[in-house]
């Protein structure tokens, strides 16, 4: 097996390779002055199982295209199989037509993956459980919930006076799952409405009892608006401690600043997306997916 990394999350690729007791294989990614990329695998891969680690967070299109070129290079060089480790799958929220005239962007991604002969995709905490069904190639859908459960137990937050919270109805399955993993910990759900054209979020009520400590669980933080608004509402409803567990730290715009300035006590995320130093903030804790991914690849 040979493990390669695109440019989106080399530390995660290095850590996965380390857990597999393999070196990270070198790849040349040359960027021409006009922005085009030239990709070259610097070691032979004939008859090898090739793993490409490339979460497709912003710049999403660039990261996807690098992944496609890496897969093409591997297959042209005789790789036996190509597994794309894409812990964060860009375009996953565009998995169906919301309004007439729209593209199904995720479908375009899947078709392109297939045409560059990616054999398998490994991804984490997809926006809906229906997404793997869109894939015409095998898709392994893993979850960071067990990592979060471990941390919740380590912090002693699995006792009384704690409620799990989904910041929207769409996260109900996720919250039910983690509740079961925590011996049926009570959960609540927030009614969230997002204007499809302006993106403005509106949150007014919580279904379920809000206790002393609230643990908000979600799949991703993009602008940070969902978490900040949910935490504010939970504080108004009486929560004294608010912790956040989110798989994908996409952190677009000024997400880091608004999260640090919010009423949230701590934000736990994973390394599914690389967080550069300038986007880190004191309330942030990063848990690693590398051991789980390596286990899946073995």
Q: Which residues are catalytic?
A: 192
Nearer to ligand R5P, 69 or 228 (CB): 228
Minimum CB distance to ligand R5P, residue 54 (Å): 21
CB atoms within 10 A of CB 163: 21
Nearer to ligand R5P, 40 or 96 (CB): 96
Q: What is the 3-state secondary structure (H, E, C) of 260-294?
A: HCCCCCEEEEECCCCCCHHHCCCCEEEECCHHHHH
To which H or E segment does residue 148 belong?
helix 145-154
CA distances from 165 to 121, 187, 213 (A): 30, 6, 10
Give the residue carrying structure tokens 């994973």: 270
Minimum CB distance to ligand R5P, residue 141 (Å): 15
Distance from C-alpha of 186 to C-alpha of 210, rounded to nearest angstrom: 9
Nearer to ligand R5P, 52 or 273 (CB): 273
Minimum CB distance to ligand R5P, residue 78 (Å): 40
Nearer to ligand R5P, 221 or 293 (CB): 221
Minimum CB distance to ligand R5P, residue 218 (Å): 5
Nearer to ligand R5P, 82 or 220 (CB): 220
For residues 206-219, one letter each, b for 16 or more C-beta atoms within 10 angstroms of the residue's C-beta and e for the rest, the string is beeebbebbbbbbb
Distance from C-alpha of 280 to C-alpha of 271, rounded to nearest angstrom: 12
Nearer to ligand R5P, 6 or 90 (CB): 90
Cis peptide before 59 (omega within 30 of 0): yes
Phi, psi of 126 (to 5 degrees): -70, 155
Using DSSP, how many helices (H) and how many strands (E) does the chain show? 9, 14
Distance from C-alpha of 222 to C-alpha of 219, rounded to nearest angstrom: 10
For residues 247-272, one letter each, b for 16 or more C-beta atoms within 10 angstroms of the residue's C-beta and e for the rest, the string is bbbbbeeebbebbbebebeebbbbbb
Minimum CB distance to ligand R5P, residue 171 (Å): 6
Compute, in degrees rounded to 10, the torsion defined by CA atoms 79, 85, 90, 96. Answer: 80
Minimum CB distance to ligand R5P, residue 230 (Å): 9
- Give me the residues that bind ligand R5P (CB under 6 A), please: 167-168, 170-171, 218-226
């Amino acid at each position: 097996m040979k493990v390669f990394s695109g440019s989106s999350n080399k530390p995660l690729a290095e850590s996965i390779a380390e857990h597999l007791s393999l070196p990270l294989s070198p790849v040349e990614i040359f960027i021409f002055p006009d922005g085009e990329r030239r990709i070259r695998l610097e070691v032979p891969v004939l008859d090898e199982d090739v793993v490409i680690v490339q979460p497709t967070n912003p710049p999403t299109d660039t990261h996807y295209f690098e992944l496609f070129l890496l897969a093409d290079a591997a297959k042209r060089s005789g790789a036996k199989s190509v597994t794309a480790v894409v812990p964060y799958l860009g375009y996953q929220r565009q998995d169906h037509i919301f309004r007439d005239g729209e593209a199904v962007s995720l479908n375009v991604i899947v078709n392109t993956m297939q045409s560059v002969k990616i054999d398998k995709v490994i991804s984490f905490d997809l926006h809906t459980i229906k997404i793997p069904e869109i894939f015409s190639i095998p898709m392994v859908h893993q979850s960071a919930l067990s990592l979060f459960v471990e941390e919740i137990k380590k912090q002693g937050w699995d006792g009384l006076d704690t409620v799990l919270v989904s910041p929207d109805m769409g996260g109900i399955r996720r919250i039910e799952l983690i509740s079961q993993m925590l011996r049926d910990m009570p959960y609540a759900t927030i009614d969230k409405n997002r204007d499809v054209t302006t993106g403005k979020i509106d949150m007014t009520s919580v279904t379920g009892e809000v206790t002393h400590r609230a643990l908000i669980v979600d799949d991703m933080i993009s602008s940070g608006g969902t978490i900040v608004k949910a935490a504010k509402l939970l504080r108004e409803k009486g929560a004294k401690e608010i912790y956040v567990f989110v798989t994908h730290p996409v952190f677009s715009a000024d997400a880091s600043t608004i999260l640090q300035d919010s009423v949230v006590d701590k934000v736990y995320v994973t390394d599914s997306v690389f967080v550069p130093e300038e986007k880190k903030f004191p309330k942030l804790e990063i848990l690693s997916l590398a051991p789980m991914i390596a286990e899946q690849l073995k």
